[in-house]
Chains A and B, each alone.
Chain A
Amino acid sequence: MDEDRVIICRCEEVTLKRVRELLDKGLHTMDEIKRISRCGMGPCQGKTCRPLLAQEIANYLGIDVGSVALPTFRPPTKPVKLGVIARGDECD
């Protein structure tokens, strides 16, 4: 598998290679990897990459994926235009 061509986070174009490089450099939590690589910071709010990244960390550390701590979830669930928020009640 070409790690350089496997994309973990589509929004921010973070590759598997980059994730493994950061794991090797000692970043072992989702919060740390997110903050350095932007993995999960894009408009989809990590919907796709969250489980992929969690699995990658679990494999690396040899732990159960359930014990990988997830980052705080922050709104919005769907990206909204600022102009819409400024107008208050309307929708576009």
Chain B
Amino acid sequence: MTRSAHVAVIGGGVNGCSIAYNLAKQGCTDVVVFEKSYLCSGSTGRCGAGVRCQWGTEMNCRLAFESIKMFETLNEELGYDYDIEFKQKGYLILAYTEKEWEQFKLNVRLQNSLGIPSRLVTPEEARGIVPGLCTEGMLGATYCKKDGHCNPHHTTWAYARAAERLGVRVKTGVEVKDIMVRNGRVRKVVTSEGAYNVEVVVNAAGPWAKPIGAMVGLDIPVYTERHQILVTEPCAPVQDPMVISFSKHFYCQQTPHGSFVMGYGDPTEVKGYDIGHSWQFLERMVQVVTPVLPVLKELRLVRQWSGLYTISPDCQPILGGTPKVEGFFMAVGFSGHGFMLAPVVGRLVAEQIMGRPTSLDISMLDLERFDRGELILEPSVV
């Protein structure tokens, strides 16, 4: 017997789970989430989990600022028995080049015009915010106290459990093998545990977004790239904000658990699905970060790992449906910032699926923007 669901969500990462929860909250509970492995096994469970509204495009500022407001009350909203560990101790973004500093001045002006309380700080002020910060070569920094980071495992699980309480079926260990389209509409998904008749399919497959697109004949212009990251032993709280530099390609935060989590975006990293770890990363990471944050030298490395960025031509997500295949929706191509956007993305994509006006205009994030040549280029990424 073929089973059915109104909506099939492909992917049990933070975005798939957030979309499923928001659909149910908006009244569509006949939803099934397919996750081929376990929840968070994709990019979400491997990410740096930074959450910031200090962006360089109006679109990202608006989306991230809204998401942050949602993170602030997410434990209560989702009725979570544990804690998603949202720590709002700011982001300190360091400027080392004139070009960067000029861009940061523009960014802060844009952010302030949207109500984001970011500001430019001098190297001395930066040292006041992060004691022990070495400011050599630094021209200045920007700081926003609303920014921070959050536990991606707890966040995803909280969404999944809240969705299940509203009636959503979350199926882990079930892989989507194919999607059937008839007369330009999605009709059926074929999974490792049989077929489901569906009206709507949501591609929230993270690094596997492209193969899922191919199942309905779409060429989604994204590619995957390994990013590596490490964690130290815990120590007493010494660093409040996330410290990040685009020109040095690193970010570094101290989690509520006391450990430091840091990543380095190697500009020469190869494309593909490799998520192995390299000794070169470790060396490079440590050589870049310890001169800036010398306290780290005394801490022991506990583990390194890696995950995939799924990158679109303008480093912005592709959200919503497409006239090419009716009933097929996407939330893919998040590059390095798909965790922080998940609360607002879940709400907006659910609104699109329900055929309602969206609470923020995201029509320009559609797949067709690449055909139109209307890219939204974000200058501030690691």
A interface residues, Cβ below 8 angstroms from B: 25, 29, 31-32, 35-36, 38, 41-43, 45, 72, 74-76, 79-83, 85-86, 88
Contacts and interface: CB of A to CB of B under 8 A. Distances in A.
Interface in B296-325: 296-305
A81 B304 contact: no
Contacts, number: 68
B-side interface mostly: mixed
Interface of B: 38-41, 45, 82, 153-154, 157, 161, 231-233, 257, 277, 282-283, 286-287, 289-290, 296-305
Nearest to B306: A74
A50 B199 CA distance: 43
B302 A83 contact: no
Contacts of A88: 283
Contact of B39 (A32, A75, A81): A32
B38 A80 contact: no
Contacts of B82: 36
Contacts of B41: 31
Given A36-B154, A38-B257, A82 B38 contact: no
Contacts of B296: 82-83
Nearest to B293: A82
B283 A81 contact: no
A27 to B, nearest CB: 8
A73 B45 CA distance: 15
A59 B28 CA distance: 38
Contacts of B283: 85, 88
A85 B282 contact: yes
6 contacts: A36-B154, A38-B257, A74-B304, A79-B300, A80-B301, A81-B297
A74 B305 contact: yes
A82 B153 contact: no
B304 A35 contact: no
Contacts of B153: 35-36
B45 A35 contact: yes
A80 B304 CA distance: 12
B277 A74 contact: yes
A25 B161 CA distance: 9
Contacts of A29: 38
